Amino acid sequence: MIRAAKGGLPGWVVDTYVDWKFRSSFRGLWVRGALEGSEAGRLVYANHSNWWDGFVLHQLGRAAGWDTYCVMEEKNLARYRFLSRIGAFSIRRGETASSLETLRYASSLLARPRAAVCIFPEGELRPFGVRSLKLERGVELLARVSGARCVPLCIRYAFLEHERPDVLVEVGESHAAAPLERYRTELEAAARRLEAATSLEGFTQVVSGARGVAERWDAVRGHG
């Protein structure tokens, strides 16, 4: 497997680039719900609807003060190995030996202070929306082996009142290891709440991004 290789100058360079890329592409990152900042590790599980999802979790982790890691398909991480510098590590889906190695490695990461190991239990990209989710068992197994608290999280990319898209994140209540059905129920509930949002009311901005033409014009006129 490919392990995370955070830190040092290469890590700083990739971290800085991802931060710039995110901020220049979106108006902001908005969160509804509590981002727990305890010293204990947490297992973050999220829907997977967009290429940007891993970068969203990276930005979210920075805002929350987490030491963030993310599971990634090995063939993709091998292609973009620089992502290991910001915490990506690999799994070869469908291979038992690889899955067990990744499970042990992820469990060791969760024992570290402030660690957040992020996983997409759907296992592949699927469109955002309220539907019956099909999850793989890795999230349940990792939670049981590590004993970490589990944090459900749903991501939505939305054009609301502005030119640039906003990234909305719904954070559910953390829970202990549970049967797979619990993870599906939590993600579907978060998706329903997030899909119903028609404005930024109730959300807190944790990362600011680029302003659109109208916002820059309002600033020049003294209205923004």
Residue 163: the pLDDT is 80
Which residues lie across from 207 on neighbouring strands? 29
Q: Identify the domain containing residue 164 by its residue range.
A: 8-221
Does residue 1 lie within any of the structural domains?
A: no
- Measured CA to CA, the distance from residue 142 to residue 106 in angstroms comes to 8
> Rounded distance, CA 204 to CA 32, Å?
6
Residue 56 lies in a domain: yes
Would residue 168 count as lying in a domain?
yes
Burial of 114 (0-12, 13-18, 19+ CB in 10 A): middle
Q: Is 212 within the bounds of a domain?
A: yes
Nearest-angstrom CA–CA distance, 114 and 112: 6
Separation of alpha carbons 170 and 24, rounded Å:
22
- Crossing angle of helices 138-146 and 180-195, in 10° steps, is 110
- Are the beta carbons of 153 and 35 closer than 8 angstroms? no
Q: Token digits for 143? A: 């939670």
Look at residue 2 and tell me if it is in a domain.
no
Note whether residue 28 is domain-resident. yes
Q: What is the pLDDT of residue 210?
A: 77
Domain assignment of residue 17, yes or no: yes
pLDDT at 218: 63
pLDDT reported for residue 130: 64
Beta strand pairing call for 166-171 and 88-91: unpaired
Give residue-wise pLDDT tens across range 104-136. 999 999 999 999 999 999 988 888 876 778 999
The residue length of the chain stands at 224
Alpha helices by DSSP H, listed for the chain, are: 8-25, 53-64, 74-79, 96-110, 138-146, 180-195, 213-221
Residue 136, domain CATH:
3.40.1130
pLDDT value of position 72: 95
Helix (H, G, I), strand (E, B) or coil at 156: strand
Q: Are 21 and 55 in contact (CB under 8 A)?
A: yes
Spell out, as residue ranges, where the chain has pLDDT lower than 50.
none
Count of domains for the chain:
1
Measured distance CA(8)–CA(4) in Å, rounded: 13
Structural domain contains residue 194: yes
